[in-house]
Amino acid sequence: MAEEFDRSVTVNENRSVPGWVIAVLAVLGVVAVAGVVMAHNASNDNQASNQSYDAKLKAAQADFTSQIAQLQQHQAQVDTANLGLQSDLTVVTKRLRLTQSDLKNARDEAEAIRTEDQQKIAEVDADAKTELATKASTDEVKSVDGKVDGVRTDLSGTQNDLKMARSELGTLIAKNHEDVDQLRHLGERDYIEFTIDAKNKPQKVGSFMVELKGTNPAKKRYNVSLIVDDARIDKKNLPVNEPIFFHQGTDRRPAELVVNTVSKDKVTGYISVPKTAGTQSASSD
């Protein structure tokens, strides 16, 4: 009876705790251990992360503090520079005000001098007009009128004396020595008189060479050659008192040769040339 009871108990015990329960319990135990380990590792990782974050935060704070210090230093430099610029600006403003003041004084002095000069000029002008008016007496006016009348008379006589023929270029043609003298007194041209008494013998007249080639006294005609600037100009069967025009150098004003008398192998006449600027001014003086 006792053995049967023990067996029944053993059998019952074996039936009350199945094997899969033990296996589940074992698995749970392993999972629990693994969870503890993982929790421990996670705790360590979290701590390491926190430490890294703290380190980075501290580094960022330090960098931020450094940048703030640099900005404060830069701001201090800017403030110092601004103070210097303000000081310089104050000096420049004072000098500019001084310069403007000097400029105004200079303008005022110039205006005063100009006004004074204008007054002096007006006074001198008024004095001159008064003096001229005083001197212009009736007797002086009559004297001037008499001189004018004399000049008019002389001019009329000269015009009557100069009733000479004119060339196609408007120059007066002298027919004898007296006419040449009158034209010479006008001072418009230079006159060089000549006499050539042989044929085929070049003769120097002024700066030109004149060569008589032949004459016809009955018809008062002649043949002549001119040498001007190494160039020869031949003229044939020309009448007396008819000018031959030619140019010398680059002067566009013509010179002229005039023969007044013709006899056997002999001619007389003149060459007239325009006055140079110096000769004209000298004659006008």
Minimum mean pLDDT among 71-80, 165-174, 188-197, 255-264: which range? 71-80
Q: What percentage of residues in the chain have a pLDDT greater than 70?
A: 72
Kindly report the average pLDDT of the chain as a whole number: 77
* pLDDT > 50? residue 142: yes
* pLDDT > 70? residue 12: no
Token readout for 72 is: 């404060």
CATH number of this structure's domain 177-284: 2.60.98
Domain boundaries, the chain: 23-135, 177-284
Q: What is the pLDDT of residues 70-117, one digit of tens each?
A: 878 888 887 887 777 777 777 766 666 657 777 677 677 767 777 776
Burial of 167 (0-12, 13-18, 19+ CB in 10 A): middle
* pLDDT > 60? residue 4: no
Token readout for 37 is: 């380990």
Distance CA 240, CA 266 (A): 12
**pTM of the model as a whole:** 0.43
Q: What are the DSSP calls for 46-95, one per residue?
A: HHHHHHHHHHHHHHHHHHHHHHHHHHHHHHHHHHHHHHHHHHHHHHHHHH
Identify the three-state secondary structure at position 236.
Answer: strand
